[in-house]
Amino acid sequence: MRRNRGAAIIVQDGKIALIKRVREDEMYFVFPGGGIEKGETAEEATKREVYEELGVHIQVKNLIAKVEYKGTEYYYNAHITDGVFGSGKGEEFELKDRGSYIPIWTPISELPNLNVKPYDVAKCVFDYYGI
């Protein structure tokens, strides 16, 4: 199923915010974000989804990447304005059939070594941050 989504690239103190996913015996990482709902802009969806998944409010800055993956996906450079990282309470934490969602900070220098989906976006992050 194709669904457009918005996501945030949040870098703070040399670390990048990711969601560690374990689903169907596979471990991988995604950038926090999710589906764009009817009537929402990509930026609005990014802010809402990041709050649901991470428990933080963000300021969306510039678009880093726009890719076709499972729909059109928009990835924005963003920074945290308030909230407590890891306190998200979105539905993804309750629906166990969708696997686990674990918010993490990881050194941005480790990003090339991780199974990040979609990897094309990780490559854009490498270029943007000079990794």
Q: What is the pLDDT of residues 106-126, one digit of tens each?
A: 999 999 999 999 999 999 998
CATH number of the CATH domain containing 30? 3.90.79.10
For the entire predicted model, the pTM comes to 0.91
Q: What is the pLDDT of residues 67-80, one digit of tens each?
A: 998 899 999 999 99
Structure tokens at 104: 């993490």
Number of domains in the chain: 1
Q: Where are the alpha helices (DSSP H) in 30-97?
A: 42-54
Whether the Cβ atoms of residue 53 and residue 84 lie closer than 8 Å to each other: no
Q: CA–CA separation, 71 vs 104, rounded Å? A: 25
21's tokens: 């996913």
Identify the band that residue 89 occupies on the pLDDT scale cut at 50, 70 and 90.
confident
Give the range of the structural domain holding residue 58, as residue numbers without chain letter: 5-129
CA distance 100 to 50: 16
| Token code pair at residue 88 | 């998200």
Please say whether the beta carbons of 66 and 76 come within 8 A.
no
